[in-house]
Amino acid sequence: MKFEELSILIVEDCQDELETYISLAKTCGLIAYGASTSDEAKQLLSIKGFDFLLTDIHLSANKDSEIGEFGFEIIQYALETQPQLTVLTMSHDMDRAIFERAFALGTTHFLRKPITSADEIGIYIKLASQKKIASQNDDSLSVFLNQFSNNNLYKIYKNGVIISSKQDKFLSGVAKNKKIPLVLYGETGTGKEEFAKILHKKRVEIEGMIPFVIVNCPLLDNDLTNSLLFGHKKGAFTGANETTNGYVAAANNGILFLDEVQSLDIPTQRKLLRVLNDGSYSRVGDMRIIHTYFQLIVATTKDLDEEVEAGRMLADFKYRISGAELTLDPLRDRLDDISIFISVFFKKEGLFVNEELINQIAYKCKNCFWKGNIRQLFRVLQRMIINSQLHEEDLNIHHLQLPNENATKSLSGKKIFACVNELINPNENSQNELELLNLLQQAFHTDQSLNHLLDEIEKQILINAIKRHDSIAKAHTGLGISRNAIDAKRKKYKI
Ligand SMILES: Nc1ncnc2c1ncn2[C@@H]1O[C@H](COP(=O)(O)OP(=O)(O)OP(=O)(O)O)[C@@H](O)[C@H]1O
């Protein structure tokens, strides 16, 4: 893979690694420059234009300073001074917070260190260039997206976020009623944060720029939680050299998004409750009462009623954060949407993929469990592109590598039926079990709508689980779905 005449700045604090990366980049035909601290990188960026930046995250500001996450500062500086630049980030640490912050700042791809081959650099440079061209070619993306949006079932945003028209309307309603909090339920990777961002976008369209503050609750450091959320007064504790405003102040007149809200401890819930009731709070080490008003969005992978029942969440807090509620279904429950996700993903990556290949990929993906949901699907598709580039072949179905735990079971229909039959003793079959066996028999011997059959089977499983547990709360836990999900299914199947 050759990239003649294109230049790259590589920032890496380990001298040996820096030299290796420069030499690998040169093998790809890139004109490569190196820097080992953030000050050096900024200096180079201020005097010379580059096509690409490849930066480590953990490095020092200068030769005398300690190592910190200065890579973020470099990305920010680079894109401010050279907005046309394409940024790639590398790190040993594939920590999700780092990953997401790098992307939020404008990174197009994230490479795991150490990088050992020129091909690896070449592939990512090629992918990054395609993605950049696709995002600049906004018109073609919009025309493409409109094909799907026009059928009125979906709204597709320019950044590729796909949402049902019904959900979009719902969020528009919440945006107009900014006193209503929003609770987003859903497994990991179902798009809760994306939905929160859409709500913010809708409010900005109505009111102009307003703050949007994201708090990843599990990452709040126990000792510093109060200070991070509510700010502190200078001198309040050792190390409090300046008075700070916390997240709640930063969200004033805007939106505070508490991700994984169930992980907040009880004292913090109590303090937040006061803010949510009348907007009042005080900084750590300060008696003065201050006010802040924001719309609250919380996201959770848990059933909040159960959190209350288990004593992990204050009933008052749950009551106060409840308002509008949206449950984002797992990908395995929205198989009809898989083709659209795949099409939009490739379009955003700047790749033309024909309909036949999209259908083949979708067919295979529909048999997967997708425990990481849309995030996991997109990673698998990204891996597919990388596989095709590594083999220097046009993208084809053989490049698709489904995650192992998702591998389709290779039992034939007859074998599955025999297994089920063995599990259920025919002499003691309940009406419900017989119904299930009938359905499976029909499924294997006649042509019927797959979705209809799966719905019918799901219904029988739910009826059985509710009967077996004699409690809806226990049934949804047993089935590994949320309370909201079971309620929605009960409504759908009129159970
Ligand atoms: N509706 C969607 N349309 C397009 N892409 C989506 C959508 N939902 C999620 N994604 C993709 O999946 C990724 C993960 O989504 P997001 O972070 O919003 O999930 P989440 O539910 O907040 O996950 P977690 O609970 O782990 O924080 C996004 O970065 C995006 O690439």
Instruction: Read off the pLDDT of residues 27-53 as tens digits, 9 standing for 90 and up.
Output: 988 999 999 999 999 999 999 999 999
Q: Does the CB atom of residue 375 touch ligand 1 within 6 A?
A: yes
* Polymer length of the chain: 495
Query: Among 149, 217, 374, 378, which is best to mutate for testing ligand 1, by the most ligand atoms less than 8 A from CB?
Result: 374
Domain count of the fold of the chain:
4
Per-residue model confidence (pLDDT) at position 478: 85
Per-residue model confidence (pLDDT) at position 424: 47
Ligand 1: centre distance to CA 374 (Å): 6
Complete DSSP assignment for 309-333: HTTSS-HHHHHHH-SEEEEEPPGGG
**430 pLDDT above the threshold of 60:** no
**71 pLDDT above the threshold of 80:** yes
Residue 334 located in a structural domain: no
Ligand 1: centre distance to CA 255 (Å): 19
For residue 184, the ligand 1 atom closest to its alpha carbon is: 21
First to last CA, the chain: 59
Beta strands 280-281; 324-328: pairing state: unpaired
Ligand 1: centre distance to CA 402 (Å): 19
Ligand 1: centre distance to CA 337 (Å): 14
Residues 89 and 157 in one domain: no
Q: Does the CB atom of residue 171 touch ligand 1 within 6 A?
A: no
Residues 174-201: pLDDT tens digits? Answer: 999 999 999 999 999 999 999 999 999 9
Does the predicted model carry a pTM greater than 0.90?
Answer: no
For residue 196, the ligand 1 atom closest to its alpha carbon is: 18
Residues 379 and 470 in one domain: no
Residues 91 and 72 in one domain: yes
Closest residue by Cα to atom 24, ligand 1, is 188
109 touches 88 (CB < 8 A):
yes
H or E element at residue 469: helix 450-469
Complete DSSP assignment for 124-175: HHHHHHHHHHHHH-HHHHHHHHHHHHTTSSEEE-TTS-EEEHHHHHHHHHHH
Residue 339 located in a structural domain: no
Residue 408 located in a structural domain: no
Closest residue by Cα to atom 16, ligand 1, is 191
**Rounded Cα distance, 232 and 288, in Å:** 11
Per-residue model confidence (pLDDT) at position 262: 95
**Rounded Cα distance, 83 and 79, in Å:** 5
**Rounded Cα distance, 313 and 483, in Å:** 16
Ligand 1: centre distance to CA 207 (Å): 26
Residues 111 and 212 in one domain: no
| Residue ranges making up the domain that contains 99 | 7-135
Mapped onto helix, strand or coil, the DSSP state of residue 69 is strand
- What the block records as the tokens of 197 is 């961002």
Residues 164 and 301 in one domain: yes
Residues 223 and 291 in one domain: yes
Residues 273 and 185 in one domain: yes
Residues 90 and 215 in one domain: no
Going by pLDDT thresholds of 50, 70 and 90, the confidence category of residue 464 is confident
Asked which of 292, 327, 362 is the last residue of a domain, the reply is 327
Query: Model ipTM?
Result: 0.98
The neighbouring-strand residues paired with 67 are 60
Mapped onto helix, strand or coil, the DSSP state of residue 351 is coil
244, exposed or middle or buried, with CB in 10 Å at 0-12, 13-18, 19+? middle
Asked which of 93, 117, 135 is the last residue of a domain, the reply is 135
Ligand 1: centre distance to CA 376 (Å): 9
Residues 292 and 196 in one domain: yes
Name residue 279's amino acid.
Answer: G
Q: Which residue has the tokens 């509510």?
A: 230
Mapped onto helix, strand or coil, the DSSP state of residue 246 is coil
Residues 149 and 250 in one domain: yes
Ligand 1: centre distance to CA 285 (Å): 38
Q: Does the CB atom of residue 186 touch ligand 1 within 6 A?
A: yes
Going by pLDDT thresholds of 50, 70 and 90, the confidence category of residue 431 is low
Residues 54 and 167 in one domain: no
Q: Over range 258-280, report the average pLDDT.
A: 95
Q: Does the CB atom of residue 189 touch ligand 1 within 6 A?
A: yes
Q: CATH number, domain at 84?
A: 3.40.50.2300
* CB neighbourhood size of 5 (10 A): 9
Residues 222 and 271 in one domain: yes
**Rounded Cα distance, 235 and 444, in Å:** 73
Residue 2 located in a structural domain: no
Ligand 1: centre distance to CA 147 (Å): 22
CA-nearest of 427, 477, 442, 436 to 458 is 436
Asked which of 301, 327, 353 is the last residue of a domain, the reply is 327
